Amino acid sequence: MSNPLLFFAQIFSRRHPPSRVPVRVHIDSVSQASSTIFLFMRRMRAPLITLIIIFSVSVVGLTLIPGVDPGGNVAYISLFESFYFMSYTATTIGFGELPWPFTAQQRLWVTFSIYLSVIGWAYAIGSLLTLVQDRSFRQALALRRFTRKVAHLREPFLLVVGYGRAGELLAKAFDSLGQQLVVIDESSDRVDALDLGSYHADIPGLVGDAANPHHLTAAGLNHPFCAGVLALTNNDETNLAVTMTAALLRPDLPVVSRTVSATIAERMRAFGTPAVVNPFDRFGEHLRLALNAPASYQLLTWLEAGPGAELPDRGSPPTEGRWVMCGYGRFGREVTGDLRAAGLKVTIIEPLERGEPEPGVIVGDASDPRVLARADLASAVGFVAGTDDDTTNLSMLATARRLNPRLFLAARQNRPASAALFEAMRVDALLVPTEVVAHEVYAQVSTPMLWRFIQEMPARGDQWAAELIQRLRYNCGRELPALWKVTLNHEQAPALDGWIAEGRVALGELLRSPEDRDRQLRVVPLLMLRNGEPVLTPDDETVLAPNDELLFAGEGSERRELESTLVVDSTAAYVLFDQHIPSSWLWRKLSRKSPAPSTQSGGRLR
């Protein structure tokens, strides 16, 4: 325990009943950095003192030696002139012998002090340069700069731990939403990549071990504007440590954590309620959804891919028949379980026999065509290449396709560099674990309503999903538009206050253009939350109530038009009831004297 006060705080806290308010433990993250700087100041002591002594001796010595003035009289130069002479001589500027030419004795002393002072300066400057180039000193400076940058953030930010492939995808998606981020990664290469990446915002990045709570605190874990922690490293243990630290120090923060191990996921859930993302698990669920409802799956992947994503193709995996599963590791087990749950038969090929043999398991190297032949691919409908080696997966896919060209091919891509190869292979379903994580985290964190929508969506069936995709494509094009949220309260919809309370606003009326109310806005309402109850794709007749939350999909220009309806009284009156009311206060006062407008908007004009 570094701080004895913390120790005593713990002892004393045991005597009192535990308080309900979570205690914010303060970890001094700057102390590490400042200790390094103190150490280096300490190291500068010797050179500086040497310099002061050399200077004093030379300056005093020069004033004590008699010189000769132009008149031929003996004259001593003053302390100030001596200091001036030594300053320009020692720093090798050399203006000459001032105020008058020196005598031989003075020159002797000056020669001596020149050599002395050059040594002194070389020592001091050399120490300073060594110090500046020292690695730990530079790291300490970088940490200080980073800490200051984070401390000055004045908008909600997400703390992203691990800037790998998933982190990068997420950073791009959140940056385009205008969400501020702070990044920690172990590798300096990745943080350099962050600096080089073209982001709208200035994203502070720290090279450091995220399992160290000091680094997390430096990255703003205790910052009042920290809005959430995303643990996305490749290392499950690190993610666990991050989840644990965040849960203990900031129990109020949402945490999203990535893992591929069910055990680690259990251990993470022991600390509060982190959202654990297991890419293998999710891929299995997605595959099952794709088998049962291809359109729902298409909609899901489209919405999760973030703004600007192209509409993915709708796959048509075989829903009956036998699948062949190569590689029965963690990934294989998850997917096999999901396939069997969907009522499909699965033949497993596994290079190593583990434990007791299960029925339907062929032991052998799946990249060997003879082993593949034993799995009887000709009668199978689907094939999953799920080992953790991309080369093996690709060669298995090629062999399988040669044996049975009609097979539905699913594969797991492990390295980002292999992306081009898998694309050229034209597999039907591809798992890229980092992308699954990125999309999943995006859906959970970007807006909670999107996550709600995604959870409720599969229950609505395939037909509904296909119609919604048609509607989105018609209104917004092939690229996923921005999703945004509107709460019908006084802050976000002041113009509608009275009418909504009276129950006179239908959704279809609201979504009209302020320029021409006969034109419907190209906006699709995806979800309405009323008192926490979700309504998916509310229809035009839905009557809005105060504090309803709505999730819309639509282009930015349409969004601005809707916002002007929500905020400007006269626009709202026109859009909803086709009435023209003056927008300025004076004209409204004047128009009240004229024959009153119809009763519909009278209430608002008071």
Partner 1 sequence: MNLEKVVFGFFVLLAATLNFGFFIGDISNPDLHNIYELFAALAVSLIATVLKFGDRTQIGAVHLATSLVADLQLVAASVVWVWAQEISAEGMSAAATASVVSLSGGALLAKVVSVVLLVIETVTFHRG
Note the residues at the interface with partner 1 (CB under 8 A): 35, 38-45, 48-49, 52-53, 55-56, 59-60, 63, 78-81
Instruction: Give counts: helices (H), strands (E), the chain.
Output: 26, 18
Q: Residue with structure tokens 């302390």?
A: 79
- Residue 6 beta carbon to partner 1: minimum distance, rounded to whole angstroms: 19
Q: Please state, in angstroms and rounded to a whole number, the distance separating the CA atoms of residues 378 and 303.
A: 36
Contact 106, 62 (CB under 8 A): yes
Rounded distance between C-alpha atoms, residue 520 and residue 525, angstroms: 13
Q: Residue 59 Cβ, how far from partner 1 at the closest point, in Å?
A: 7
**Measured from the CB atom, is 60 or 125 closer to partner 1?**
60
Copy the structure tokens of residue 74: 């003996």
Asked if residues 298 and 314 have their Cβ atoms less than 8 Å apart, the reply is yes
Residue 80 CB, nearest distance to partner 1 (Å)?
4
Distance CA 142, CA 206 (A): 8
60 or 378: whose CB is closer to partner 1? 60
Nearer to partner 1, 29 or 392 (CB): 29
DSSP state of 18: P
Residue closer to partner 1 (CB basis): 58 or 347: 58
Contact 220, 184 (CB under 8 A): no
Q: What are phi and psi of 595, to 5 degrees?
A: -50, 130
Q: Which is nearer to partner 1, 131 or 421 (CB)?
A: 131
Do 29 and 147 touch, CB atoms closer than 8 A? yes
Are 429 and 317 in contact by the 8 Å Cβ rule? The answer is yes
Q: Which amino acid is at 42?
A: R
Least distance between partner 1 and beta carbon 42 (Å): 3
Closest distance to partner 1 from the beta carbon of 35 (Å): 7
Q: How near is the Cβ of 151 to partner 1 at its closest, in Å?
A: 21
Question: Nearer Cβ to partner 1, position 38 or 115?
Answer: 38
For residue 325, give the 3-state DSSP assignment.
strand
Mutual angle of helices 30-43 and 104-133, in 10-degree steps: 160
CB of residue 488 to partner 1, shortest distance in Å: 56
Q: What is the largest CA-CA distance in the chain?
A: 119
The span from the CA of 519 to the CA of 558, in Å, is 12
**SS3 assignment, position 323:** strand
- Smallest separation, CB 39 to partner 1 (Å): 6
Per-residue HEC secondary structure of 543-601 comes to: ECCCCCEEEEEECHHHHHHHHHHHHCHHHHHHHHHCCCCCCCHHHHHHHHHCCCCCHHH
The distance of closest approach from Cβ of residue 110 to partner 1 in the complex, given in angstroms and rounded to an integer, is 18
What is the distance between the terminal CA atoms of the chain, rounded to a whole angstrom?
A: 66
Query: Angle formed by the axes of helices 104-133 and 79-90, to 10°?
Result: 50
Q: 562 CB contacts (<8 Å, ≥6 apart)?
A: 486, 510, 511, 521, 523, 552, 554
Residue type, 297: Y
Cα–Cα distance measured from residue 536 to residue 480, given in angstroms and rounded to the nearest whole number? 18
Taking the least distance from each CB to partner 1, the nearer of 46 and 151 is: 46
Cβ closer to partner 1: 39 or 421? 39
Q: How far is the CB of 67 from partner 1 (least distance, A)?
A: 16
Pick 54 or 372: Cβ nearer partner 1: 54
- What is the rounded CA–CA span in Å between residue 180 and residue 166? 17
Residue closer to partner 1 by CB (options 58, 414) is 58
At residue 534, the 3 state secondary structure works out as: strand
Q: Which is nearer to partner 1, 7 or 80 (CB)?
A: 80
Residue 552 dihedral angles phi and psi, to the nearest 5°: -110, 155
Residue (79 or 596) nearer to partner 1, CB: 79
CB of 41 to partner 1, least distance (A): 4
Nearest distance, CB of residue 47 and partner 1, angstroms: 9
In the complex, the smallest distance separating the C-beta of residue 57 from partner 1, rounded to whole angstroms, is 9
Residue 214 or 250: which CB sits closer to partner 1? 214
Cis peptide upstream of residue 99 (ω within 30 degrees of 0): yes
Quote the CA–CA distance of 561 and 584 in Å, as a whole number.
Answer: 20
* 78 vs 463 by CB, closer to partner 1: 78
Q: How far is the CB of 56 from partner 1 (least distance, A)?
A: 4
User: What does the radius of gyration of the chain's CA atoms come to, in whole angstroms?
Assistant: 36
